[in-house]
Amino acid sequence: MKTERWSVDKNVDNNKKYPQIDEAATFLQKNEVVAFPTETVYGLGANAKSDEAVAKIFAAKGRPVDNPLIVHISSTSQLDDLVAAIPEKSMKLMNAFWPGPLTLIFPKKQGAVSDYVTAGLDTVAVRMPDHPVALALISASGLPIAAPSANRSGKPSPTTADHVAKDLEGKIAGIVDGGPTGVGVESTVIDCTGTTPIILRPGGVSKEDIEFVIDHVEMDTTLKNKEQKPKSPGMKYKHYAPAAPLFLVEGEPNWLQSLVNEKRNEGLKVGVMASSENASYYEADLILDCGSRNNLSEVAHSLYYSLRAFDDAQLDIIFSETFPETGVGVAIMNRLDKAAGHNWIRQKI
């Protein structure tokens, strides 16, 4: 399959027409799969109403079909066709954070979307992305667009069109190149359909931000029942992993360096993911500075880019510092923990 590529300035004017966006939208209307930028990561979009189209997402990603997808919309008016009800707390969050990196779980309207989108659940996950190109494309298609991250399943999410091409060239119909994304980690997913709102996946909107709007929310970052169908992407399978084994190291920099030295003495090629504060301290085959511990948004922005850069270096093993679990740091550590397959090395004191 030939993969088309359309370049669009990320600051498109949604009051104007763009031939590239119109052509990409036509592909979506024909039930083809098109990758596009959002403010979080690149999404892999298809007509959420079509079994044929959504099946192509799973085929391209190599993704298990029991993992639900997020439906992207460009206007709240589209909710009328998708959801059976809008809980009061969901409405407050929509008013506060849409468009933006927040996905809400709603009771779905029967027959509104393909069952492949919801993995057979009676709920549907919806968000409105805060990216002019994404909004223009969704609007031009006239469709709700199901869109997981545009990468092969289990690999680091893509933050550039080149990342998408590396994973999916020849497997999808097209890529809308709107430049690098902003937030760098996926949207927060929250379920307000029950008595107490539950964050199913931490992301670009922090728990503190949400609680400022609707008071108390709970965190549910793990799927305790392995047989239960997940309501949110990223709850069941290993995700975001580089090719080389990744270990999260909780300890002093000198102790992490001793781990590096041990592996290099064994003849292994070693990478280190470090904060700006400590990056110059380490000696390894590849050291990536992913941002300051005092500016976790910076770390989130570069997280997936760094994980992919390690793949390019063909390393044997990677060690990563850990980061404070405050604000977006919760999302950072959630993604790193999954990328590492929950493998931690903790310094004994």
Known binding site: residues? 40, 63, 67, 72, 123, 127, 147, 149, 157, 187, 201, 240
Q: Return the structure tokens found at 84.
A: 């059976």
With contact defined as beta carbons under 8 Å apart, do 273 and 290 qualify? yes
Known binding residues for L-threonine are: 40, 72, 127, 147, 187
Place of tokens 């092969």: 152
Strand partners, 191: 105, 198
CA dist., res. 49 & res. 322, Å (int)? 41
Q: Return the structure tokens found at 317.
A: 């093993």
Strands 70-72 and 145-146: antiparallel
Picking from 78, 9, 50, 56, the residue whose alpha carbon sits closest to that of residue 150 is 56
Known binding residues for ATP are: 63, 67, 123, 149, 157, 201, 240
Q: Return the structure tokens found at 324.
A: 């404070």
Picking from 4, 38, 74, 260, the residue whose alpha carbon sits closest to that of residue 160 is 38
With contact defined as beta carbons under 8 Å apart, do 112 and 81 qualify? yes
